[in-house]
Amino acid sequence: MGIKRFYDAHIMPRMITLACGQKGIEERRREVVPLAEGRVFELGCGGGLNQALYDDEKVTGFAGIDPHAGLLEGARERAKARGWDHDIREGVGEKIPFPDSSFDTAVCTYTLCSVDDPGKVLGELRRILRPRGKLIFLEHGKAPDADVARWQERIEPVWKPLAGGCHLTRPIGSALRGAGFEVEPIGQAYLAKAPKFMGWMEWGVARRAGV
């Protein structure tokens, strides 16, 4: 196995899991993840950082996908320990392997930055949600300040291969609206004690528009 393949398969996923578990991000997770209810789908569930934050009294079933096969067994073990009826599979957000209108809640945290086609992923999340279902999101992306956004554009080509394809310049709220969601923001802020180019965050709830 070459160095790059070894890094992508073994080092990078764990590095990202560690980075996404830092204190400021953990606080934001605690704001949004307990809002999940009913049958829940989580995109990029392999790292397991959200699982301890769900409210067992609200969750009736749990499903998720992750492209990193090596992380899935741990996710399944954690779900089993919670006593959940669970279905966790290897997969990508552009082709979610579940039927239309299957879930009451979809959870997406720090995932849209690294998918190949965010518009298609959001379309899939909209598809699998029941008509009155909700998408809980916590994402980082394009900063609203022009000087920060320019630095994001400069740094992104170097950043992406080191961080699993993570994009710094993808919009968040406007992307959700463009994919047919109505957005209910909870918060927007730079992550404290992080470089601004990687620290702009938006979090909230999105629902299928027109329902």
Beta-carbon contacts of 150 under 8 Å, excluding residues fewer than 6 positions away, are none
pLDDT at position 23: 59
pLDDT at position 70: 80
pLDDT above 70 for 79:
yes
Q: Where are the domains of the chain?
A: 3-208
pLDDT at position 18: 47
Residue 159 and residue 138: Cα distance in Å, rounded?
A: 20
Q: What is the pTM of this model?
A: 0.88
pLDDT at position 2: 60
Q: Which amino acid is at 50?
A: N
pLDDT at position 205: 98
Average pLDDT, the chain: 89
Structure-model confidence comparison of residues 34 and 49, the more confident one: 34
Model confidence band, residue 9 (pLDDT cutoffs 50, 70, 90) = low
pLDDT above 80 for 44:
yes
Which tokens in the block code for residue 102? 């299957």
Q: Which amino acid is at 26?
A: E
Model confidence band, residue 48 (pLDDT cutoffs 50, 70, 90) = confident
Structure-model confidence comparison of residues 67 and 35, the more confident one: 35
| Contact status, residue 133 vs residue 105, Cβ threshold 8 Å | yes
pLDDT at position 46: 85
pLDDT above 90 for 112:
yes
Beta-carbon contacts of 159 under 8 Å, excluding residues fewer than 6 positions away, are 166, 168, 198
Model confidence band, residue 22 (pLDDT cutoffs 50, 70, 90) = low
The count of other CB atoms within 10 Å of the CB of residue 103 is 25
The string over 182-202, giving b where at least 16 C-beta atoms fall within 10 Å of a residue's C-beta and e elsewhere, is ebeebeeebbeebeebbbbbb
pLDDT above 90 for 97:
yes
- DSSP states of 95-130 as a string? G-SS-TT-EEEEEEES-TTTSS-HHHHHHHHHHHEE
Quick: pLDDT tens for 122-171: 999 999 999 999 999 999 999 999 999 999 999 999 999 888 889 999 99
Mean pLDDT of 82-101: 96
- H/E element holding 66? strand 59-66
CATH architecture of 3-208: 3-Layer(aba) Sandwich (3.40)
pLDDT at position 3: 52
Quick: pLDDT tens for 28-42: 999 999 999 999 999
Beta-carbon contacts of 151 under 8 Å, excluding residues fewer than 6 positions away, are 196, 197
Which tokens in the block code for residue 85? 């009826």
